Structure 1
Amino acid sequence: MFAFVNAVPDPFYVWHGNASDYTINENNGYMFLVNVKKLDAQIFNYKIDDLRIGRLYEFSAYIANVIRKEKCLNKTNIRFEVRAINESGNIIAKKGTGDVPACYNMSWSKYGISFKTTHSSVVLLMISNVAEGNGNDVAIDDIELRVESTNDDDDTFTTG
């Protein structure tokens, strides 16, 4: 279950109700809210073309655990993956967030992965590292792919 929301709802009295998105100085911005239900569930899947082979890129997002700390439910844990677009879907890079802490107030942290392109087209993925159960509810904002180092113009692709 997912939604794009301006503020976190609190239908179960366990989420950080009315918490807003990460983006600073933005009124009524949206965040991606996901109630993850199973291990290896794809939270985000985005194909991107025309990357420059051999370049170093960063795929990142701001992530917050929407469960209030006192509720002691499953922790959010996400794996970032970059896969080649070919028959075998070779993994170019992967990195987990570790447990995203539950807090008394919703707290955003930037997570991501750096990778060197070996293919001009890749799939960017965020995948659940937590088995099903209560908890593992996450807010995601400012998903971005950017060139880490180059002498050329700054190349940045942002989805939200």
Structure 2
Amino acid sequence: MTMAPYKRDIVVPANGKSTTTTTTTTTSTTATTSSTTTGFICYPECQNNGTCIQTNTCLCATDFTGSSCEIQSGGLCSDDNTTNIAPIFLVTFGSGSATFSSATPANFSFTTTYQQAFTIPIEDGYFAFTNAIPNVNTVWHTGALDHTPNDIDGYMFLANADPNPGQFYRGTVNNLCIGERYEFSAYLTNLVGPFGLAKPSVIFQIRTSTSDNTLIGQLDTGEIPEYSTMTWTNHVTIDFRFSFLRANITRFWYSSEV
């Protein structure tokens, strides 16, 4: 998956519709309290040399925002177009000679409701980091590799869809810039061959990490097709501008359900 652009290799075998769960995090910043006096009263007081221009309304100095100018955004952002620039967040789950990686979601800064498998079988509701599709049953593309080009023994995220709704990936990207354009994308594949089984689908959501978890963008992949050879496809591309005054952090939810 990519954020401008940020990429992951995710395998979703057989079966699945999608749902999402939302949780709340809060974003805090350290700010210096100082303000310009104009005769109006702002509560809380305008910070970082902000000016109280009318009751409870702050005019913020350059590079600061928020109702009391408590959020600093300067130094993080460029005025240039963000199209085709280097990724600001990229994870390909590492590489290694062992079929199953011993790494855990914490190593890649995400959480999941799925349980991790470190060997076969990989049951419903389990996931694994593997450098080749394991020989679990005759309908999987046994031996197929991850998406990343020239990635010797590269691991992929393999999730076996749970009959119950589950969130198989949730991560956070920090230091996003107000007003900038971002692109989110992900490569997915169905590891089941053309055997007429139920096809998976995934819902991707991008939300702010403010208390209301404002939804910025959402996309449903629809049914991920099966092929005679395992085929990676960029199923998701969401363009959005981050224009919320009270955060420069956003979060993603990727949910799977049989």
* TM class, shorter-length: 0.7 to 0.9
1:120 maps to 2:248: yes
1:2 to 127, 138, 145: 127
Normalization by structure 2: what TM-score?
0.48
Distance 2:164 2:185 in 1: 21
The Cα shift of 1:54 comes to: 1.3
The 1:81/1:38 distance shift into structure 2, 3 A limit, reads farther
State the 1:64 CA deviation.
0.4
Bigger CA drift: 117-126 or 98-107?
A: 117-126
* CA deviation after TM superposition for structure 1 residue 40, in Å: 4.3
Deviations 1:57-114 (A, max 9, x none): 11111110011112x2221111111011122212111011111101111000012222
Shift of 1:43: 1.9
**Does the alignment pair 1:69 with 2:197?**
no
State the identity %. 33
2:68 is aligned to: none
Amino acid at match of 2:249: S
**Residue 149 of structure 1: aligned partner:** none
Amino acid across the alignment from 1:73: L
Structure whose CA Rg is larger: 2
Query: Aligned runs of 1:1-160 on 2, under 5 Å?
Result: 1-38=126-163, 40-70=165-195, 72-112=196-236, 113-117=238-242, 118=244, 119-128=247-256, 131-132=257-258
Higher strand fraction: Structure 1 or Structure 2?
1
The answer to which of 40-49 and 24-33 deviates more is 40-49
State the one-letter code of the partner of 1:78.
V
**Distance (Å, rounded) in 2 between the aligned partners of 1:39 and 1:109:** 25
User: AA paired with 2:211?
Assistant: E
- Unpaired runs of 5+ residues, structure 2, are 1-125
Range with bigger deviation, 94-103 or 37-46: 37-46
Amino acid in the other structure paired with 2:156 = M
SS of alignment partner, residue 95 of structure 1: strand
| 1:79 partner letter | I
Distance 1:125 1:22 in 2: 21
In the TM superposition, structure 1's runs of 4+ consecutive aligned residues that sit over 3 Å from their partners are none
RMSD: 1.4
| 1:95 partner letter | L
Offset of residue 39 of structure 1: 5.8
Residues 5 and 36 (structure 1), Cα distance of their counterparts in 2 relative to 1, 3 Å cut = same
Residues paired across the two proteins, number: 129
Q: Equivalents in 2 of 1:47, 1:38: separation in Å?
A: 26
| Higher RCO (CA 8 Å, separation ≥ 6 residues) | 1
Distance 1:38 1:58 in 2: 31
